[in-house]
Amino acid sequence: MTRHVIYHNFDGLRLVGTYHEPQSGVDGGSQSGASAGVLLLNAGPAPRAGNSDMSVAICDRLAQIGCAAFRFDLPGLGDSEGPSPTDIPTYWNDVLHGRNDAAAASLVDHVVRTYGLRSLAVGGLCAGAVTAIRLAASRNPILRGLILLEPNFRVELGVVMPRNVPTARPANPDGPLSKVRRKVHEVCARVGLAPYPPETDASLFRGLHTSIEQGIDTIAVLAAGLQSTRHMAIVERHLSRKAKSRLTLVSIGQTNHILTSGDAKTATCDAVAKWICRDPEFSRRAG
């Protein structure tokens, strides 16, 4: 398989990515008949290779089955230009508030135009999944699918910061807004109106829910026993019957949140490749 370094200028910043050329001369776009590709965004703040090169492994596998696969570093991450995030809680908060939305939308547009594609499945792990969901929620017409690896819906991460190194925006779970949110949730839950746990970002849940209802095929790869499993079960439970068929949940046992323990890496690659193969738009060898 051949890889190519690719670039995109966004807002005066050079973003750097990798294109995994489909094997056996199968090129993305019109040459192969495949009109859709896959774009993976950074797994949290990790470089575009992903945690323990998970994103590389997925894109290699997709290229093997004839799917054009791309990975990009978002601003300030990996090899891309831009200010580096300082700490995980601040980065997470910024991602939930759209830090990467415009860059991701611009990348999607750039990739489809440059490689002659019509649509993309976009995804990533954790914060990468969040940005992908936000992109789908914005009703981006290029989006064909979501690849969510351990999506995280929490408002605040359970990260313990070292002493004397406060975050730029300290989390305050006991703040007045949090108390109001919890109270509203309790009341609504009693009458069956609020399906989302109080510690989560309800707009993210709603965004994913609406996207799937409106036709976005989605795969979620989850670490069994971790919160994402419970959260995605909530999403699934509230989907219509037709929309449920568009959601593929894959639970992997004995692994961690970044899917680097046990056989998760192989299992994730297998699951994503299988999911891609269902749709001939992604690969002429699909189906």
Partner 1 sequence: MKTQATPQSPPDVSNSQETFAYLDVHGEQVYSVRHSPVSPGAFRASVLVVGPIGAERERAYRTTHLLACHLASSGFDTLRFDYRGIGESTGDFTKVSMSAWREDVNAVASHLRSNAPTTPLVILGVRAGAILASEVFATGVGDAMLLIAPVKSGADYMQEVMRRHLMAEMVANENLPRRSRDDMTRDLGNGEIVNVEGYPWTSALLRDASSHSLVIPPASERRPWHSLDIKPVVSAAASAPARPNHTTLAAERFWEASPILMPRTTSLFDATIAAASGLVAKERAA
Burial class (CB in 10 A: 0-12, 13-18, 19+), 3: middle
CA distance linking residue 210 with residue 202, whole number of Å: 12
- Least Å distance, CB 103 to partner 1, is 17
Considering the complex, state which of residue 67 and residue 258 has its C-beta at the smaller distance from partner 1. Answer: 258
- Least Å distance, CB 21 to partner 1, is 11
Of 27, 47, 114, 236, the one binding partner 1 by CB under 8 A: 47
DSSP assignment string, 158-215: -PPPPTT---SS---TTSHHHHHHHHHHHHHHHTT---S-TTB-HHHHHHHHHHHHTT
- Determine if 18 is a binding residue for partner 1 (CB under 8 A): yes
Closest CA to 42 of 125, 116, 108, 103: 125
Considering the complex, state which of residue 42 and residue 283 has its C-beta at the smaller distance from partner 1. Answer: 42
Q: Which residue has the tokens 């690969």?
A: 283
CA distance linking residue 187 with residue 200, whole number of Å: 16
Considering the complex, state which of residue 93 and residue 211 has its C-beta at the smaller distance from partner 1. Answer: 93
- Least Å distance, CB 265 to partner 1, is 6
CA distance linking residue 52 with residue 128, whole number of Å: 15
Residues 6+ positions from 61 with CB-CB distance below 8 Å: 269, 270, 272, 273
Binding to partner 1 in span 197-226, by CB under 8 A: 223-226
Binding to partner 1 in span 111-170, by CB under 8 A: 159-162, 165-168, 170
Considering only the stretches 21-29, 82-90, 201-209, 243-251, report the one whose residues sit in contact with partner 1 under the rule CB under 8 A: 82-90
**What residue type is 234 in one-letter code?**
I
Considering only the stretches 39-47, 105-113, 136-144, 234-242, report the one whose residues sit in contact with partner 1 under the rule CB under 8 A: 39-47
Considering only the stretches 80-88, 95-103, 104-112, 134-142, report the one whose residues sit in contact with partner 1 under the rule CB under 8 A: 80-88
Q: Which residue has the tokens 């914005």?
A: 138
Q: Residues in contact with partner 1, total (CB under 8 A)?
A: 51
- Least Å distance, CB 158 to partner 1, is 10
Find the helix packing angle between 202-213 and 227-237, rounded to 10°. Answer: 50
Of 19, 72, 91, 275, the one binding partner 1 by CB under 8 A: 91
CA distance linking residue 185 with residue 200, whole number of Å: 11
- Determine if 99 is a binding residue for partner 1 (CB under 8 A): no
Q: Contact letters (x/-) for partner 1, 244-273, by CB under 8 A? A: ----------xxxxx-xxxx-x--------
- Determine if 12 is a binding residue for partner 1 (CB under 8 A): no
Considering only the stretches 87-95, 102-110, 192-200, 278-286, report the one whose residues sit in contact with partner 1 under the rule CB under 8 A: 87-95
The answer to whether the Cα torsion of 103, 88, 45, 134 is positive or negative is negative
Q: Name the site residues for partner 1 (rule: CB under 8 A).
A: 1-3, 5, 16, 18, 45-47, 49-54, 56, 77-79, 83-91, 159-162, 165-168, 170, 223-226, 254-258, 260-263, 265
